[in-house]
Amino acid sequence: MVRHPLSSRFLQAMILGYVLLAIFTRVQEARGAYTCGCDEDCWCKRPGLSLFRWVLPRWHMNQAIAAWKASQL
Ligand SMILES: [Zn+2]
């Protein structure tokens, strides 16, 4: 049996950590720590995708806000 250098367990831990960070930042936002200033047509305003609003500071409609979001983490 050949094992991958990146075991699926490691990958699962990475994904789990990423999702936990996404949930954490969304909870912080709900508590008023952050405010999303993106336009209404930004991808991060879509239900479901908003979870990753803070951990994926890319492709936002507003470049200045994308940069600011990246600096928040
Ligand atoms: Zn956005």
CA of 59 to the centre of ligand 1 (A): 7
Q: HSE-up of 7 (CA within 13 Å, CB side)?
A: 4
Q: What is the DSSP letter of 2?
A: P
Over range 37-58, report the average pLDDT.
Answer: 82
CA of 57 to the centre of ligand 1 (A): 8
CA of 14 to the centre of ligand 1 (A): 23
Question: Is pLDDT above 70 for 2?
Answer: no
Instruction: Find out whether 73 and 44 touch, Cβ atoms under 8 Å.
Output: no
More reliable by pLDDT, 45 or 58: 45
Over range 21-27, report the average pLDDT.
Answer: 87
* C-alpha to C-alpha distances, 45 to 33, 38, 52, 73, nearest whole angstrom: 18, 8, 10, 19
CA of 12 to the centre of ligand 1 (A): 26
CA of 5 to the centre of ligand 1 (A): 35
Reading the block at residue 9, the tokens are 């367990």
Torsion of CA 71, 34, 52, 38, to 10 degrees: -90
Calculate what percentage of the chain has a pLDDT beyond 90: 10
Q: pTM for the whole thing?
A: 0.64
